[in-house]
């Protein structure tokens, strides 16, 4: 698409914010892109007739592929309609002019134009875009404000007495002002996502938007490292089905609630524990939770109910449901499929299979703590549970070619069972072949060569060759082949033994002599 491009995580945020009634200007400011770019993507979705909820359920690669090649004709048709709306809006103020009348005139000039219902829907959206404003008043289930306190608490080393600083996370629901507080090691991306997730599970649901107070680990900056952090926070929000709406700089109303909550935390948490000593983060958070519950259950000064009561009665049921799985930070890597049909995850030195037809192709690995996905041209071609066993292979049988599938199934039981189906003596012979090898894998090809003679030479010849080789005490593929090639299997073994038997003589010592 021409113009500024965005990530699919940003696009999902645009959709969520728009569904929440947020204006284009506010969306552009929140996502850190231009207003025209926001309009372009929303119009592209409209032109393609795509449903918002279906788009939000798609993974990023599939969504990018879907929107990669827009239909210029659809975009042009939609743009032409929007260009007419300012004139239509003025005409509606004239006597007798209705949307039905205007739509009729529109269809006369544009026979391939939109239907009446689509015409009205687009007109309604245009009006909303043109005259909409951001509502500052708090609604139930709408926003969760997020911040860290400026001051820090401390953990004391039990042995040395050394004190280490810890960060204090604060989040507050806009409507009920129910508050969540937890101490974490840092403000890094991993800790921010962890504690935000803990807050959502504390509330038992998800608000329609997260409002971080310009945290470095959540808000986009013109720096490659910060951009990556922002991408993870957006991905986190998409996992939980919510939007990110950062508080505006120099706009006190956007962050008044959380800043008020921070001040309350100072008086309700920091002050009561100022003389207490904590030797672990867990013990500190246990004490914070006790004070937090007491605060949330205390009545407002000017209302007869508490934050907890207001939340339970008017807000909890309006929160979005929590997803079944916890969020995992995703990482990305471009790799080439090796000749054996596997790709390597460098961090673990572990190998994962992909369909053999992609051998030699460059693919994208998207992996988290527990899973690994492989994409080619925006399509997922493989999925595996992550393993951290170094220099080992995780292989899906269906990814292998027919030859590789056969080889991947080689094991002692396979060959013993195959031999037993021919004859007991063949089974015993194969067991000896496997036993004589330093490693069973060394004997697999010998077993294949021996047992394949059932089809090449015939079952009975193979059985007789095995009997003769057993008599010789030679347990290998080459002996079987020499017997078959020389036709020794056709000579009765008992007759040969008789002709080779030595005559009895008093000067000949028996076998007992050598014991």
Instruction: Please tell me the distance from the alpha carbon of residue 242 to that of residue 38, in angstroms, as a whole number.
Output: 18
pLDDT average, residue stretch 82-103? 84
pLDDT attached to residue 201:
95
- pLDDT confidence band for 481 (50 / 70 / 90): very high
Domains within the chain, CATH numbers bracketed: 8-131 (no CATH), 143-318 (3.30.420.10), 331-402 (no CATH), 410-500 (no CATH)
Residue 480 burial (CB count, 10 A): 25
Instruction: Please tell me the distance from the alpha carbon of residue 396 to that of residue 406, in angstroms, as a whole number.
Output: 13
pLDDT attached to residue 215:
59
pLDDT attached to residue 80:
80
DSSP state at residue 304: S
Instruction: Please tell me the distance from the alpha carbon of residue 6 to that of residue 135, in angstroms, as a whole number.
Output: 26
pLDDT attached to residue 272:
92
| Among 142, 146, 147, 164, CA closest to 155 | 164
Instruction: Please tell me the distance from the alpha carbon of residue 329 to that of residue 335, in angstroms, as a whole number.
Output: 20
- pLDDT confidence band for 1 (50 / 70 / 90): very low
Q: What angle do CA 113, 20, 225 make, to 5 degrees?
A: 105
- Cα→Cα distances 460→336, 344, 447, 472, Å: 49, 47, 17, 19
| Least confidently predicted of 187-191, 221-225, 271-275, 339-343 | 221-225
In the predicted structure, residue 222 carries a pLDDT above the cut 50: no
Q: CA end-to-end span of the chain, whole Å?
A: 91
Place of tokens 């939980």: 240
Contact 210, 255 (CB under 8 A): no
How do strand 371-376 and strand 362-367 relate by DSSP bridges?
Answer: antiparallel
In the predicted structure, residue 229 carries a pLDDT above the cut 50: no
DSSP one-letter string for 400-448: S-HHHHHHHT--HHHHHHHHHTT-HHHHHHHHHHHHHSSSHHHHHHHHH
pLDDT average, residue stretch 454-479? 91
Q: Tell me the range of 38-42, 109-113, 448-452 where mean pLDDT is highest.
A: 448-452
Average pLDDT score, the chain: 81
Handedness of CA 242, 246, 252, 257 (dihedral sign): positive
> Helix/strand/coil (H, E, C) string of 56-100?
HHCCHHHHHHHCCCCCHHHHHHHHHHHHHHHHHHHHCCCCCCCHH
- Cα→Cα distances 242→186, 209, 255, 322, Å: 24, 5, 19, 10
pLDDT attached to residue 136:
45
- pLDDT confidence band for 36 (50 / 70 / 90): confident
The more confident residue out of 425 and 396 is 425
pLDDT attached to residue 114:
81
pLDDT attached to residue 233:
84
């Amino acid at each position: 698409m021409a113009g500024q491009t965005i990530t699919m995580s940003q696009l999902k945020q645009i959709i969520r914010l728009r569904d929440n009634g947020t204006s284009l200007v506010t969306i552009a400011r929140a996502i850190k892109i231009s207003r025209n770019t926001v309009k372009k993507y929303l119009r592209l979705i409209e032109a393609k007739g795509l449903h918002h909820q279906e788009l939000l359920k798609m993974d990023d690669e599939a969504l990018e592929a879907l929107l990669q090649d827009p239909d210029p004709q659809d975009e042009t048709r939609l743009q032409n309609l929007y260009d007419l709306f300012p004139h239509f809006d003025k005409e509606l103020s004239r006597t007798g002019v209705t949307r039905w009348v205007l739509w009729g005139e529109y269809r006369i000039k544009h026979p391939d134009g939109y239907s009446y219902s689509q015409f009205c829907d687009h007109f309604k959206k245009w009006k909303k875009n043109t005259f909409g404003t951001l509502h500052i008043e708090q609604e139930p289930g709408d926003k969760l404000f997020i911040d860290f306190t400026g001051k820090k608490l401390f953990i004391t080393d039990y042995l040395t007495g050394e004190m280490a600083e810890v960060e204090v996370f604060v989040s507050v629901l806009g409507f009920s002002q129910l508050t969540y507080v937890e101490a974490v090691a840092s403000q890094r991306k991993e800790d921010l996502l962890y504690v935000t997730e803990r807050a959502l599970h504390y509330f038992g649901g998800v608000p329609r938007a997260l409002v971080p107070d310009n945290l470095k680990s959540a808000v986009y900056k013109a720096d490659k490292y910060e951009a990556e952090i922002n991408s993870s926070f957006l991905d986190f929000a998409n996992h939980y089905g919510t939007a990110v709406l950062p508080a505006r700089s120099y706009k006190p109303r956007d962050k008044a609630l959380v800043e008020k909550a921070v001040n309350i935390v100072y008086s309700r948490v920091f002050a009561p524990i100022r003389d207490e000593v904590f030797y672990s983060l867990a013990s500190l958070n246990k004490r914070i939770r006790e004070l937090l519950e007491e605060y949330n259950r205390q009545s407002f000064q000017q209302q007869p109910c508490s934050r907890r009561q207001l939340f339970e009665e008017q807000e909890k049921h309006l929160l979005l449901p929590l997803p079944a799985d916890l969020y995992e930070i995703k990482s990305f890597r471009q790799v080439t499929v090796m000749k054996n049909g596997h790709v390597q995850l460098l961090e673990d030195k572990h190998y994962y299979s992909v369909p053999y037809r992609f051998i030699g192709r460059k693919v994208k690995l998207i992996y988290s703590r527990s899973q690994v996905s492989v994409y080619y041209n925006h399509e997922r071609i493989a999925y595996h549970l992550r393993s951290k066993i170094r220099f080992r292979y995780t292989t899906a049988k269906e990814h292998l070619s027919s030859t590789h599938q056969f080889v991947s199934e080689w094991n002692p039981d396979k060959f013993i069972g195959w031999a037993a189906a021919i004859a007991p003596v063949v089974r015993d012979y194969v067991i000896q072949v496997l036993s004589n090898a330093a490693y069973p894998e060394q004997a697999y090809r010998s077993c294949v060569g021996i047992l394949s003679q059932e089809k090449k030479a015939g079952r009975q010849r193979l059985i007789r060759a095995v009997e003769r080789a057993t008599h010789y005490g030679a347990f290998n593929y080459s002996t079987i082949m020499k017997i078959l090639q020389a036709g020794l299997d056709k000579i009765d073994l008992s007759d040969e033994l008789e002709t080779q038997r030595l005559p009895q003589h008093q000067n000949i010592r028996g076998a007992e002599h050598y014991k």
